[in-house]
Structure 1
C-alpha cells in the first residue's frame, strides 16, 4: 500500500439511492450456495451488468463441489475471491489458481467451456462473480482470460484510512487492472473505517450500484444494511457518490458502467442479442465448437 492520498473528489450533486435489493438465496454449479444479488429482472436497469452472485460460507458442504465444466458465450465473467482458493480450467487451454484477494477476468465471447473447483477442504470461502455484457460487435471475438493475484491489483489508501482496490476503471487518479473501451466498467472494493466517508466520480450516463458485504453504510442519508445492494438513481446532473460508513468498519463494492442499450436475450449461460443467436450458440455448443472441454 502506498502513502495515503487525498480523496479530493468534490461533488456538486451526489447520487441518491433509488432502490435497495437484498438478493435471492439460491444454488448454482454442483450445489454451491450463494446469494444472487443482481438478477435477470434487473439486467435492463443495470445494463451492461447481467448478474452478481455473492458467496460466503465456512461450511465446505456449501461450496466444495464447485462449478464443474459449463459453457459461456456473449459476455465476460469477473470472479473476485476475497477468501479461499479456486482452480480455473477452460477449453482455450487456460488454467489458474484464484487465491485470497485475487481476480479472474474471463471474456467468454464466441464461446468457452470452463470449470471452477475449490482447492480447499475446510475454512471460509467468500467472493463475488459479476457478469459484464459484451457489445454485439464483440460477442463473437476470441475468448480471453487473465488472472490477477492480490498483489497485482492497483490499490490506494486515503488520508482517513479508507483502503480501495481498483479492479477495473479508475478512481482518484489510480487506473485499475482492466479497462474496457465500450462498457467502461469501474469495479472498486472499498474498505472504510468506522465513520469514514469516500467519494468517487461517476459519469452521469453510467448505471451504478453499491453492495455492502461488511458493516453498514449510508448514501445521502439512506441506510444501506449488510448484504444489500443499493441501486443508484440516474440523474443527468449528478456527478458521483459519497459512501459513509456507520459505527463499524464497513466494506462495499462499487460497480459502474456505460449501458450498451442493446437487446439482451439470455438462455442460461448464453447471452446474445436475438433468439436466433441463442439457437446458434446451443447448436455450436452441442456440436463441440466451444473446444473439447477443460
Structure 2
C-alpha cells in the first residue's frame, strides 16, 4: 500500500473489448482499440487472450513486421516462443514478460510451445516518441521470478513497470513513464496507487470484480480513469469474489499518431516509407 491515500480518480467510462483474430487466426479480445489511442496516449493497443482450446491459439503469430513502438507481452498461463530478425530468441512462460522495442524495424514471430492446455495473457503496445521511433531494435525476456512482487493486506501486486508499493518495477521508461501492475485482491480488500493527474490510465479486470470510486467494474471490462487536477491516484476495491486486474498508466506524448497495421509513426509519409522498406526487405 502506498504511504499516503490517493485522492480518487473516478471512472470516466467502461469499455467492452471486441472479439477478433490476429496472427494466423489466434482468437483474442481487443480491449484498447484504435479509436482510443488519442485518449489513452501513449498506449496504442491492448489485447487480452485466454482459452483452454488449442484451436484458438495453436497457429500463433508467424513472422510479421513492426516499426515505431514497443510491445509488452505478459503471460499468465502457457508458453510462447519468440524469434526475431535481430537475432533474439526467448521462451515466454507463465508469469513472465517479453518487452520488445521495434524501433526502426524488426520482423518477429510468437509461436505457442504447447499442443494443449490453457494460454492466457495480454499484449500491450506502447508508443515511442518521435525522436526514438528509428532507434535500434531491443528485446528483453523477464522471467516470472525477476518481476518484483509485494504482499499487501488482503492481496499482492506484481510491479512489471514503474513504481508501486515502495517497489521499483522490472522495467522503467523515461519519456512515457509507463506503470504496469498486476493486482490480486481478496474479497473486500483494497489497493491504492498514486498517479500523476496528467497521466492517462486504465484498469482491466480479468478475474472477479472491482469498485472504483463508486463505479462497479465487472470482469472483462476496461475502466478508463478520468484525468482530474484534484485527483492524484486511484483506489481499487475488490468485490465479494475477489479480483485480479491490471492497472496501466503513462505520460502522454501528445504527438501525431498514424498507424497502418504493424507500423505506428507520426506522418503518412513515414508510414509509406515503412511499407516500402518492408517490401524492399530493408525494414530490419
Normalised-by-shorter TM-score class: over 0.9
Shift of 1:162: 1.5
Distance 1:258 1:275 in 2: 24
Partner SS, residue 116 of structure 2? coil
Residues 59-78 of structure 1 mapped to structure 2, 5 A cutoff: 59-78=53-72
Runs of 4+ in 1 over 2 A off after TM superposition: 6-9
Match of 1:26 among 16, 20, 24: 20
Partner SS, residue 283 of structure 2? coil
Shift of 1:290: 2.6
Residues 123-272 of structure 1 mapped to structure 2, 5 A cutoff: 123-158=117-152, 160-272=153-265
Distance 1:9 1:41 in 2: 35
The alignment's TM-score, normalised by the length of structure 2, stands at: 0.99
Aligned to 1:3: none
Number of equivalences: 284
**What is the CA RMSD across the aligned residues, in angstroms?**
0.7
Aligned to 1:79: 73
Q: Which runs of 5+ in 2 are unaligned?
A: none
Q: Work out whether residues 199 and 251 of structure 2, in 8 Å CA contact, stay in contact via their aligned partners in 1.
A: yes
Shift of 1:7: 4.2
Aligned to 2:269: 276
The alignment's TM-score, normalised by the length of structure 1, stands at: 0.96
Distance 1:214 1:49 in 2: 22
Distance 2:252 2:95 in 1: 28
Partner SS, residue 216 of structure 1? strand
Q: Which runs of 5+ in 1 are unaligned?
A: 1-5
Q: Work out whether residues 81 and 126 of structure 1, in 8 Å CA contact, stay in contact via their aligned partners in 2.
A: yes
Partner SS, residue 26 of structure 1? strand
Q: Which has the higher strand share?
A: 2
Shift of 1:125: 0.4
